Structure 1
Amino acid sequence: MFNTRLCELLNIKYPIIQGGMAWVATHELAQAVSKAGGLGIIAAGNAPKEVIREEIKKLRENTDKPFGVNIMLMSPFADDIMDLVCEEKVPVVTTGAGNPGKYINRLKSCGIKVIPVVPTVALAKRLEREGVDAVIVEGTEAGGHIGELTTMSLVPQISNAVDIPVIAAGGVADGRGFLAALSLGADGVQIGTRFVCSTECIAHDNYKEKIMKSKDRDAIVTGRSTGYPVRVLKNKFTKEYLELEKKGVPFEELEKLGAGRLRIAVMEGDMDNGSIMAGQVAGLINDVKSCEEIIIDIIKEAEVGLDRLESLKRGE
């Protein structure tokens, strides 16, 4: 029922991509999503080349399904990871935190599908001209590094502006959000926070528990003053960070304060001092399930939603 052109482009069963979340999106999570019919993503984050090579090796030992690697362009190892994905012939590369323009021709020449995250119509149009295969349109509802425009407003504008497949990200955690994204003109969705609360995700149980206990106003934004806003869950660390922002503390000091905070949240389960990146959909999540169960639930709920819309159309 939901066999979109994204499914054909990536050779996947369902038009669902797992977000490239640093420290969270390891081979364990990526292979589980790919096995379940979506596209699993290994997040390179700030990891060196050989670490990601090992992640790719372990994934391929467990599945022959398509997968991707997310490359953060601000990483000091970005060039090395670009070399790696070409050497390993990774099927798909998604990019974030920058413009991947200088890498596109090389990736395409290696047979790699290139799918960047875009926060504006202008960048989406430019990258389409440069040959990317699809774009991930990420709204401010998402967890981690964000832009200012909402998914609701940005997806239809970019869908109108480009002819390549559009993937909606930010604010999607269930079948209702999935169906809404398709209604806005998207060909599929990227989901992050919901997959954190999966049995296969290696994130600390405290991290998952924090998400499940979150309410609608618990996902806040830090770092606006620096030009690099990040959506996280409220805790002791965010309170301290925001107070320093109000005082006008220099960027370098804020950057030093935030260094390593995501790692101690994900790996050590420090919910007071860690940076707990999560989207506004955290308030919708109240259980931990396998990736397969999560994807099946999303598709089934979307089918129910579609039936409801058909009933409304008939006036029932």
Structure 2
Amino acid sequence: MRIDLTDTTASKVNKALVQGRRAIGTPAVGMVLTMVIVTDEENAYDAIKAAEEASHEHPSRTLVVIKRHARNLRDRTRSHLDAEVRVGSEAGTGETVVLRMYGEVSEHADSVVLPLLLPDAPVVVWWPVDAPDNPAKDPLGALAQRRITDLYAVEHPMEVLQARVRSYAPGDTDLAWTRLTLWRSMLAAALDQARVPVISAAVEAEADNPAAELLARWLEARLDVRVDRVVTDGPVITAVRLGTANGEIVIDRPEGPLATLTLPGQPPRSLALKVRPTSELIAEELRRLDADEMYAIALRGEATKETPVHV
């Protein structure tokens, strides 16, 4: 069911949510969190689709904040809110509210969002594009326990990565880091099998790949070795090589969803290492809402000597 509201208020949106749930025969709210998506019109469709797919694992109220640019003088001087309320099959397993803000109201999006948050439930804010320089100090980010950005969506990811180091606060994370979960799990498992000290390391990836840089920093921090950054044609990360006294530990994925793991003294074997869709990345981030300490370590490149590698 879909309800369109023009020149509305947060109070009327709340009433429409209640009306919609009653109309489809499910008045009880069984959602576990509020997801706030801050995006533009161009990227809204893909972000909403990813959030709705993730809601099958984490039923949530999704609030989509779209700040519309003024098309004429009247729009610049007139402040108003349009909303689109979706419940039932239109919104995955939760509720979706698309909030289009015009004029001055777009400068105070937090005052619109605050009354629409689920009571006594965690809040997650996700910026698919155009994240603020300091997510934790952003008015919307300040409402959240978890703040999700994406270095893949910026023009100069390495510069923004350094800015993230300076602005990091507990609760921040980035989908470039989430994309590394399978890589980190496989590397940790390979090191458990090899049980030998690593004396050299290299990460091979396309140029200026933020996930590759985070992976290299994580390895440096956890293994206390220098990690070489090797530029390849990609796509994304193509290989990780860990040198030991017994030979190299290698995970090689030149293309496609399969990688090859090679351990010293053992025959190569294939591993599934696919590039996951955004919906899976978001679902993973919603499984735990406490501070991601491993992301902080990788972001800052903090050395942790004699600490076992874990994900």
Shorter-chain-normalised TM-score: which range? Answer: 0.3 to 0.5
Q: TM-score, normalised by structure 1?
A: 0.33
Q: TM-score, normalised by structure 2?
A: 0.33
Which protein has the bigger helix share? 1
Which protein has the bigger strand share? 2
